[in-house]
Structure formats: structure tokens, C-alpha cells
A and B are shown apart, each in its own frame.
Chain A
């Protein structure tokens, strides 16, 4: 029998180990979140990221090696964005009736997300590169990377900030809306979709189907609005 290190170095070089590890880490984190009654703080993405980061560190594996396996999961972000047409279609009657509040909340939320991140970042001394990197953080990952690159930011760091933003949104949405006494699922969903893209949408889908549909719309439309607003707002803050 060959020794373990030899088998490991063979396996660790291919995509299979890291693809499997990504799925298993997510299932573990999701099971823990379910055990904790899907409380806002029990976010499965955060749990999986911590587990995998530890595993990479323990095994001395580089992110590039990891990503060769994980890219198959990452790739699905694009098709998943396309699939947001489904909740939109299911709730098309409600959406059509709410067209005005949707557009108003989208523009206000998107502008606030961008302008407040840039203003806070600048006030706290972030460099222009970092401001370009942080600007698109409320947009869904594939779109945010593109915007970051075109603004002169670091796309891989933007990806991390996007995920952090999504987790923050998913954690704060329920307690915030309860504190504000906002019971309209459409408002709750749209707000979290605009501010916290797919991770916020995933949370909304978990809580209420109508909130999920509106979150999906918020996320999709915000990708467009952020792409239009970001270069212009960033120029104001540089």
C-alpha cells in the first residue's frame, strides 16, 4: 500500500478533493444552521468559509489549488442569476402591481449602499484602490467582480467583500425589519436583495416565498443600477 502523503499529494492536485470539501463543508454548516433554528446569526456561508479556510491552512493548500475544484460551484452563480426569472415569473402579478415602490426602493437602496460605503471608507482612510474594490460590494458576485475590475479595484478582494456584505445583510435583515415594524414581505425582500444580493436573497427565500421573489428582483435590478452608478459615484469620492 502506498503511503498517505503520496495519495494525498496526488488527490490534492486535482479538483475532486476541493469540490467535495466545498460541498461537505457547506452541508455541515447548513446542518448546524438548521439545528440552531436558522437564527439570523447561524449563517451557512460563514460556517463553510471558516471550515474551508482552516482546512486550507492546515493542509498548506493555496487558494488557486482550492479554486480549481471549487470553480465548478462558483460557475453556477451565473446560471443561478438567470434562474431568478423563476420567482419573478411566479410572482409577476404582485410585481407588476408594485412597480413604482420597487423602482423607488431600488434606486434609493442602491444609491445608499454605494454612497455610504464610499463615504464611510473614505472618512476612515481607505485608499482609492480600496474604495474601487469596496464600491460594488452589494452586487452579486459575478457582476461585482466585473465592476471592480473596470473601476481599477481588486476583483478577488471584491469577491470576499461581496460575501461579507451578503452575510451582514442576511444577519441583520430580520431583527432590523422587526425593530422597524416593517411587516410587508415585499419591502423586506426587496431591501435585502438590493443591499445583500444572493446571500440576502437566499435568506429571504428561506423566510418567505414572496420576500424571496422580491429579493431576487432587487438583486437582479441592482446589478444594473450599480453598474451604472458606481463609476460616477466613485469619481466623486476620489
Chain B
């Protein structure tokens, strides 16, 4: 398990280093994900070994957002003053983005796959 944790962290570290060194707009953890994906493609044995550890972390992905969410206590006044505008902007844009994303996916999938709702 420690081997696999070290592997995951090394991927992130490499991603952060490359992102900084080349001042890429792609964030370090995302580059790390691409690196891990490439390693998994290269070695199915490694892929099977990293799976249980990674899936364990992903199973509680929601938990990882809790500390950032609690940060709300430091911004109650600012949020309160702009509550209506922020609320409308967040709800409106999230709903619109989901609708547009899903509808575009379905439309392009139908065009390229030639069947409805695969």
C-alpha cells in the first residue's frame, strides 16, 4: 500500500514540477493524473496494484472538500452582502452548464455513433 501511495504522490510531484518548470496552464495534479494513466497503460500489473489504494481514496472524495467548505465561516459577511447575486450566479451557471454539457454530449454522440441514447 505504501508503495502505491508513494507512486501516486510521485506522479503528483512530477506533475507539479513540470507544470511549474514550463509554466503550463495545466495544473500539477492533472498532469500527475495523465502520468499515472500512462503508467497504467504501460503496465497492467501496476494498474491492478494501484487500483485498490486509489479507489479507496476516491470512495470518499466528498470528504476531501469538507475543510475548504468550512472556510465559509470566514466569509459569512461578504457572502451575506452578495447572497442573492452569488446564489443566482452559482445555481444558474451550474444548471446551465450541466444542461449544455449533457445535451451537447448526446447530440454529438448521436451524430458520430448513429444511434439514439447509447
Q: Which A residues form the contact surface with B (CB < 8 A)? A: 22-23, 25-26, 30, 43-46, 48-49, 52-53, 56-57, 63, 66-67, 70-71, 73-74, 76-89, 92, 97-98, 100-102, 104-106, 108-110, 112-114, 116-117, 120-121, 124-126, 130, 134, 137-138, 141-143, 146, 154, 156-157, 159-166, 168-169, 172-173, 176-177, 180, 182-184, 186-188, 190-192, 194-196, 198-199, 201-202, 205, 218, 220, 223-224, 227-228
Task: Report if B97 contacts A (CB, 8 A).
Answer: yes
Cβ-defined contact, A137 with B30, below 8 A: no
Contacting residues, chain B, for A187 (C-beta < 8 A) = 101-102, 105-106, 109
The closest CB in chain A to the CB of B38 belongs to A85
Q: How far is the CB of A223 from chain B (nearest CB, A)?
A: 5
Q: How far is the CB of B88 from chain A (nearest CB, A)?
A: 6
Q: Which B residues form the contact surface with A (CB < 8 A)? A: 5, 8-9, 11-12, 15, 25-30, 32-37, 40-41, 47, 50-51, 54-55, 57-75, 78-79, 82, 84-86, 88-109, 112-113, 117-118
Cβ-defined contact, A159 with B68, below 8 A: yes
Cβ-defined contact, A196 with B102, below 8 A: no
Cβ-defined contact, B26 with A78, below 8 A: no
Cβ-defined contact, A81 with B29, below 8 A: yes
Cβ-defined contact, B101 with A124, below 8 A: no
CA distance A224 to B91 in the complex (A): 22
Q: How far is the CB of A216 from chain B (nearest CB, A)?
A: 8
A-B contacts, 5 listed (Cβ < 8 Å): A22-B66, A25-B66, A83-B33, A86-B40, A104-B107
SS of B interface (majority): helix
CA distance A95 to B26 in the complex (A): 21
Given known contacts A172-B98, A201-B61, what 13 new A-B pairs fall within 8 Å (CB)? A23-B63, A49-B66, A81-B33, A84-B33, A85-B36, A100-B112, A117-B90, A156-B75, A159-B71, A173-B98, A187-B109, A199-B65, A224-B25
Determine which of B12, B67, B78 lies in contact with A157 in the assembled complex, contact meaning CB atoms within 8 Å.
B78
Determine which of A100, A116, A227 lies in contact with B93 in the assembled complex, contact meaning CB atoms within 8 Å.
A116
Cβ-defined contact, B40 with A195, below 8 A: no
Determine which of B8, B82, B92 lies in contact with A130 in the assembled complex, contact meaning CB atoms within 8 Å.
B82
Determine which of A80, A82, A157, A224 lies in contact with B11 in the assembled complex, contact meaning CB atoms within 8 Å.
A82
Cβ-defined contact, A89 with B47, below 8 A: yes
With known contacts A82-B8, A85-B37, A196–B103 Cβ distance under 8 A? no
Contacting residues, chain A, for B37 (C-beta < 8 A) = 85, 88-89
Cβ-defined contact, A134 with B89, below 8 A: yes
Cβ-defined contact, A182 with B97, below 8 A: no
Determine which of A70, A105, A109, A160 lies in contact with B108 in the assembled complex, contact meaning CB atoms within 8 Å.
A105
Q: How far is the CB of A12 from chain B (nearest CB, A)?
A: 15
CA distance A106 to B101 in the complex (A): 7
